[in-house]
Amino acid sequence: QVQLKESGGDSVQAGESLTLTCIASIADHRSRCMGWFRQVPGKGREAVASIASNGITYYVDSVKGRFTISKDNARNTVYLQMNSLKPEDTAVYYCAKAADCGWLLPTPLRNYNNWGQGTQVTVSS
């Protein structure tokens, strides 16, 4: 079983930037889709961004133009660059793997079968 581990969460001021990192314990060529999600207490997990093996990306409207997802296959790593952070970005951020992102985005939550433990991002105004 591939293990995913997120890092990079922190407490920052509004307008600042953070880069989240998700490292997979081993290469997993069967999983061609990586996603970043976030969750706040009392709410469901929200898809933030995803990237397919062919490079196609998805972003939720609220982060478009501010967040960038990227991957480094050689390092089994996916990144989420977050700029111009807002208090509403405060959440626990998770990375996850799916066999395929599919054509209908965002990829349904149920398609993701491997999740990390999450990293806390707190943005103060």
63 φ, ψ to 5°?
Answer: -115, -5
The answer to whether 57 and 116 have CB atoms below 8 angstroms apart is no
- How far from chain centre, in Å, is Cα 85? 15
Read off the amino acid at residue 111.
N
Q: What is the spatial distance between Cα 70 and Cα 18, in angstroms, rounded to a whole number?
A: 14
- pLDDT tens digits in sequence order for the chain, 125 residues long: 889 999 999 999 999 999 999 999 888 777 789 999 999 999 999 999 999 999 999 999 999 999 999 999 899 999 999 999 999 999 999 999 999 999 889 999 999 999 999 999 999 99
Q: What is the 3-state secondary structure (H, E, C) of the chain?
A: CCCEEEECCCEEECCCCEEEEEEECCCCCCCCEEEEEEECCCCCCEEEEEEECCCCEEECHHHCCCEEEEEEHHHCEEEEEECCCCHHHCEEEEEEEECCCCCCCCCCHHHEEEECCCEEEEEEC
